[in-house]
Amino acid sequence: MSNNEKKEIIQWGYELIKNAYLNKVQEPDLQDELYLNYLFPFSKEIYSLGHSVLLFGGHSFKTFNQKPFITVRDGIIPLTIFFGEMRPDEFKLDIYIPKDLWFIVPDEWRGKVRFYEIKSDEIYSAHKLPEKIFVSGILNSTLADPDQFEASIKRLADGIGKENLKNIEVIAYFPDKRNDLWGSWEEENVLSYSSAIFRHLGLELKTPRWGDLKNEMNFRNCLYHEVNSGLFIKDSYLSHFALSRGAGLLAEEPKPEEDNFNFLFELRNSLYHKYNFYEFDYSKVEKFSDPLKSNQFTYFKRLIEFQNKDVRLNFEWEKWYASYIKRFYKNNKPTSRSSFNI
């Protein structure tokens, strides 16, 4: 790989996402594809009456504003940048973002932004067991630290019951990634991920390739679980893929902030799953604190930009950005009642 090619890859982090809005791009460009390809198949397009979009996919303002509302599939990082770089008065339409990300909405955007979540008709638990479990996610320390990965897999195992898992077929799909993009395999704790999967879900796993999986039409009696901290994509293609073929989700404990949401309406996405839409009562939570306006962010951003001259150092940029966001929200929880864990 030449240095120029490496430069393109390095730039995609903050700059790419930022420029995707500021340039008001008309066509998806090469850099967008890099981003989309990296997150494949989670980033694949979906069609929904809720006008689902990935903000960094090269959409123009004109396209957005033709719609009554958009349902944004992006995760924390693109949304944080979006809210930081754009002004709400530029958008005529309402913007719905994933419900779990209510705390990243800046004060000036709060009138414009509402929320949604995916609901499956089937909900599985230790009391209602599936015949199969389809577990997916990205084995990558930027998107999921080994500890978070293990916590998510453990939550699944505990939710279904370790004993019950012995009689349930487990299909694990963790897409291949290009290890030249975000560092090498040893950095990504592949052994820790594998160990977590085997310890909690057992050794008898089926690991299909995407080529086989993509043609599977039947996920009835199957639980879908995605290890996804939602840093880049919260509403993934793969969840729609499984749920629209009959899969269900794991039963979840109600979150403390649940009382602040008021249900608005629902939209079905398939015979088996839907979007529920909500508004949030911000009067009950504290003021927003902006991760991009902290001194720490400005300092590190300058440092990274300076280091950009040396390609070798900058493979860490996206990783640093992701860990910065994680650390920021750990230290600056918007409310003491928040149960959000990234």
- By CB under 8 A, name the binding residues for another protein: 44-49, 212, 215-218, 220, 237, 240-241, 244-246, 268-272
The least CB distance from residue 218 to another protein, in Å, is 5
C-alpha span between 287 and 291 (Å, rounded):
13
- What is the closest distance, in whole angstroms, from the C-beta atom of residue 43 to another protein in the complex? 12
Q: Which is nearer to another protein, 178 or 209 (CB)?
A: 209
Nearest residue (CB) to another protein, 152 versus 244 = 244
Query: Looking at beta carbons only, is 105 or 171 nearer to another protein?
Result: 171
Q: Min. distance of Cβ 234 from another protein in angstroms?
A: 16
Cβ contact 209:41 at 8 Å? no
| Nearest distance from C-beta of residue 309 to another protein, angstroms | 39
Shortest Å distance, C-beta 237 to another protein = 6
Nearer to another protein, 49 or 303 (CB): 49
Give the nearest distance from C-beta 335 to another protein in angstroms. 34
- Cα 197 to Cα 139, 170, 228: the distances in Å are 11, 10, 15
Residue type, 282: Y
Dist CA 145 CA 323 (whole Å): 9
3-class secondary structure, 235: coil
**182: closest CA among 235, 231, 134?**
231
- Cis peptide leading into 175, omega within 30 of 0? no
Side chain identity at residue 219, one-letter code: F
Q: Which is nearer to another protein, 144 or 242 (CB)?
A: 242
Q: Cβ(70)–Cβ(76) under 8 Å?
A: no
Q: How far is the CB of 13 from another protein (least distance, A)?
A: 27
**By C-beta, is 19 or 244 nearer to another protein?**
244
* CA–CA separation, 96 and 128 (whole Å): 31
Tokens of 217: 């039409």
Considering the complex, state which of residue 107 and residue 131 has its C-beta at the smaller distance from another protein.
131
Which tokens sit at 301?
A: 């951003």
User: Smallest distance, Å, CB 236 to another protein?
Assistant: 11
Token match 């719905």: residue?
96
Contact 134, 173 (CB under 8 A): yes
Cβ-based nearer residue to another protein, 7 or 206:
206
- Token pair of 305 as six digits: 């930009």
**Residue at 52: amino acid letter:** S
Token pair of 121, please?
């008709």
